[in-house]
Structure 1
């Protein structure tokens, strides 16, 4: 029950930040954005003390650890893969265009006799 209250309070703080953005419509944009950021920060801080927040923090830490294990492709590999994708798209576009024109010719000229 306490976790639900913490989560509800976090949502209320976030909503208060957004409401503050609109209530401060006469103020400079910096203050309005700061209102949203403070509401978001306070909501995240409160939510982090709930069970779901603790699980999310653990998940985020594990995700960062896994990202560090990834072997990212080099620039050359990325450019080669991108080139292959573009070439495949062009080949498929030509194939689909030829298929469309062939079916159009068969249906309209041969079967229906429309010219």
Structure 2
């Protein structure tokens, strides 16, 4: 579907507003911190500015903590667990797509459904 001129114009105007009001908001926040910073220590704690090294250290600390999971291990190629089930985050369309990619790559052989040539299974 084509993008209309009206939509483009509104998008452009929103961006202009964002820049304009962003500057005003930043100035307002700075004045709030300066005026109330001497009185309340709580505001300083809320608006603490962190350096780049502090942020990197914090991110490393978070990455070291491992996420808890159900304990199931999934095969790296087929993505199935010990019971032969796919992970919960995979929907049916993703499973179908994954199976076709495995067949094309030749990593996993496909199982034939139905009867054989002579009518016997």
TM over 0.5: no
Say which structure, 1 or 2, has more relative contact order (CA 8 Å, 6+ apart). Answer: 1
TM-score scaled to structure 1, two decimals? 0.30
